Structure 1
Amino acid sequence: MTVRKIVRRLGLRSSRPAPQRLVVSYLYPPTAETSAYVVAKRIRNWGIPVDVISSTGDTGREPDKAAGQIAGDLARRVIQVPGGRHDLNDWSIIEDFSTGGLAAFEQLQSDGRTYRELYSRSMMPGSHILAASIKQRHPDLHWIAEFSDPVRFNTRGEHRQAPLPYSAITAPLIASAQQAGYSVDPANGMFDLVEYAVYALADTIVFTNKQQRELMLNAVADPQLRESIVRRSKIWPHPIPDAALYNAVPSSHTTSAKPVNFAYFGVFFGARSAEDLTDAFGLLTKDERTRVHLDLYVDKPRRVRKAVREQGLADVVRVRPLVPYLEFLNLTTKYDWLIVTDARTDGVHALNPYVPSKLADYRGSGRPIWALVEPGSLLSQDETIERTPIGDVAAAAQFIRSQLN
């Protein structure tokens, strides 16, 4: 018999306060994805106990078991809804998560849980669909819905489209969206419904930065609907980890013996590329290259390593695979400079809505930050970091040289 059952049978009260907030996050540790880590950091920074409903869905990365330390005991119960391989455009995955998540919510209620607040975060879209379904059934819950990025539009500015089947999950959400004044096309409106369900039902709508909010609002044609969203909106920058997390998992990786060491951590895809970084190191003289080093921690090290060799940069650039999150935090404290790059959105979005979440992780390390920035982006306006224009290889090389003097 478990301790919980013994306590219940004897009529005893637990000394730990019961969670008043339920977190719905399709991605949550041990899933090794950015959004999973951000949600766990949110919980840690709130400092209040929560319950979590997440998915076991496979994203193709090894589980990060140590990441459970981020939220620690503040995550009282973590219920994982069984899921298969994740596909962003497959509604059936969202449907299964929502159906299983509603059953998990009912189980929590039957176990005596009562909540005042509901929090969800995209990515992934399924988080908001499940949360919206719970909100419809329990309208007294205060629903806080956070957007990490625009859902309806991708980094190339394209309108995401995927079929939206009629079901017991979608029908009431479509009705709520339409009642609020939003039009949903079942033929390709899956991602539209995710945003519109939040706009129609959430009590607090969270954006990570002001340009993201403005860009997403500009896609809402009706000024009254936009005003309704603004009234309920808040800006929550990405959470900065506390100092203890940077020492939780020491890394065995070391920096080079050269005087100045740079590091980049992340994924190169779409609007970000390795050449934005490596080309500048290619302009350094032979003597300069003996005094500086760049470590790239990336998700596809073999491909990036091949590109580095072809550029003739193996003596100055080392490629390593991504490391688990807490080890990454520890590594950030070892380098002289941490590099972050803007997503390229010129000619794609009217505003750059993206601020990399790793910027918050870098800030917590206390190390200097160098950003390759796009004009008009929030990174380009940040005077607490060093900045050079993205794509300006000469300016980047000059910045590197300035650190060698």
Structure 2
Amino acid sequence: MPDQTTRRLVVAFNFPPFTDGSAVTVAKRIIEADVPVDVFSADLSSVRARDESLWDLVSPWIRDHQTVKVPILFADERSLVPFVTAGETAIRKRGTSYDEVYSRSMWPHSHFLAARLRTAGHADRWIAEFSDPILWHVDGTPRPSGTTSLKGSNLRLLRAVDHRSQTFLRNNATVLAWAQFIPFLLADQLVFTNEQQLTVMLSDAPEWMRAGVEKKAVIAPHPTLGSEHYRDESEPTATPSSSRYSIGYFGTFYPNRGGGEFLEAISLLPAEMRERLELHVFTADAGTLLDVAARLNISDCVHRRPPLPFRDFLRVSGRYDALLVNDIATSPFGVPSPFLPSKYSDYAGSSAATMAITLPSSPLDNKPARWRAHVGDVDGIARMLASAITVG
């Protein structure tokens, strides 16, 4: 039984009701832990849509939630410093001492504020989670980052580490570098979603830092909510055809990141099989998807649906025969992939089968799936689809 008396603070720059992948994961972490928390987050109304169902999902565990308005800039001190200052001021005025503070990237702001609260004595323990390798895009190119000024709260963080670490941080004074290495140095526990992510992020650290990171590292894939969240009591909207093998995809569909191969595989199927297949993509941006489908003459198989609130997505997912999830097309990191799609954890709780297009030996490839084919193998994807349609 979780300790209900422990005081926990969640620092999450992006948090419900604003919706994105990290906000969903933080909400699920809170539900999974099953203890009340206070939350400090940012107002993301200028860059993120609201999903009140996501807030309704997590709100029973929220004791106090404070949101601050700051400029919304990704790796820029013009946004980060006001967030840290506002958070530290709010916690100091509240006069609360926490047993534990938890923060999660992406958005680097969260780790900076959590580090400051830990070093200032406002929390006895700091758990820092990383959603993805901070320093790299999925294609292996560096993420652009603003610099960190060596003053104010940053200077206080610098003084909290030893001389060798200070020299390293001074020589790597960017927002994203500090968002990775400050937790490496100061957090009490480091959470990664898969082993290959840890491998890639360790390779960015100097050798003398790695043993300490490995000692504090925990592998914790994205949580899957309980079956009660998938019970379908909603109105019969977005219902797939009962006469076709139906595949659902929820989120942005990237034809240039593996999705195009899936559409091409559909086009390779015999006409009688294509007539028994439909793909529903729930997304706000489907222009490229529909253009590619039209070019491949499979428009009758591919349907765009409007995005659903998170709780409706969970309930509707079970109406499909299979739910599609895919790795990106390449991995230039020296490992099969440091990215585990968070969508898999939501599909895993559904009664629908999972259909995974994976890089061999990737974190996704190591997960259970009813149907599986490999990235780049269009003929193999077509064979998988033919088997799924035949078996039903």
TM-score relative to the length of structure 2: 0.91
Distance 2:200 2:291 in 1: 37
Number of corresponding residues: 385
Query: How far does the alpha carbon of each residue in 1:177-218 deviate from its partner, in whole angstroms, 9 at most, with x for none?
Result: 563626135786221111111011100111111111111112
Q: Mark the CA change 1:56 to 1:270 in structure 2 (over 3 Å): closer, same or farther.
A: farther
Residue 365 of structure 1 aligns to a residue whose secondary structure is coil
1:229 alignment partner AA: V
CA contact (8 A) 1:58 1:83 kept: no
Which of 124, 133, 147 lines up with 1:164 in the alignment? Answer: 147
1:97 aligns with 2:83: yes
Aligned to 1:41: 28
Deviation at residue 65 of structure 1 after TM alignment: 1.1
Aligned to 1:189: 174
CA contact (8 A) 2:25 2:222 kept: yes
Distance 1:328 1:247 in 2: 11
CA contact (8 A) 2:274 2:301 kept: yes
Distance 1:294 1:30 in 2: 29
1:225-304 aligned at under 5 Å gives the runs: 225-247=209-231, 250=234, 252-268=237-253, 272-304=257-289
Aligned to 2:73: 87
1:208 alignment partner AA: T
Deviation at residue 118 of structure 1 after TM alignment: 0.6
241-250 vs 139-148, greater mean Cα deviation: 241-250
Residue 379 of structure 1 aligns to a residue whose secondary structure is coil
CA contact (8 A) 1:163 1:186 kept: no
Which of 293, 312, 323 lines up with 2:297 in the alignment? Answer: 312
Give the unaligned 5+ runs of structure 2. none
Cα root mean square deviation, aligned: 2.3
Distance 2:232 2:118 in 1: 36
Give the unaligned 5+ runs of structure 1. 1-16
Residue 381 of structure 1 aligns to a residue whose secondary structure is coil
Query: How far does the alpha carbon of each residue in 1:287-343 deviate from its partner, in whole angstroms, 9 at most, with x for none?
Result: 112111111122412342233223322101101232221111112111101111012
Deviation at residue 255 of structure 1 after TM alignment: 1.0
Deviation at residue 126 of structure 1 after TM alignment: 0.6
Which of 364, 368, 371 lines up with 2:353 in the alignment? Answer: 368
1:146 alignment partner AA: E
Deviation at residue 235 of structure 1 after TM alignment: 1.0
CA contact (8 A) 2:76 2:147 kept: no
Deviation at residue 62 of structure 1 after TM alignment: 2.0
1:54 aligns with 2:55: no
Identity of aligned residues (%): 29
Residue 307 of structure 1 aligns to a residue whose secondary structure is helix
CA contact (8 A) 1:119 1:144 kept: yes
269-278 vs 381-390, greater mean Cα deviation: 269-278
Aligned to 2:308: 323
Deviation at residue 102 of structure 1 after TM alignment: 1.2
1:181 alignment partner AA: S
Aligned to 2:205: 220
CA contact (8 A) 1:177 1:184 kept: no
Q: Mark the CA change 1:318 to 1:370 in structure 2 (over 3 Å): closer, same or farther.
A: same
CA contact (8 A) 1:249 1:326 kept: no
Residue 159 of structure 1 aligns to a residue whose secondary structure is coil
Distance 1:242 1:288 in 2: 35
2:189 alignment partner AA: T
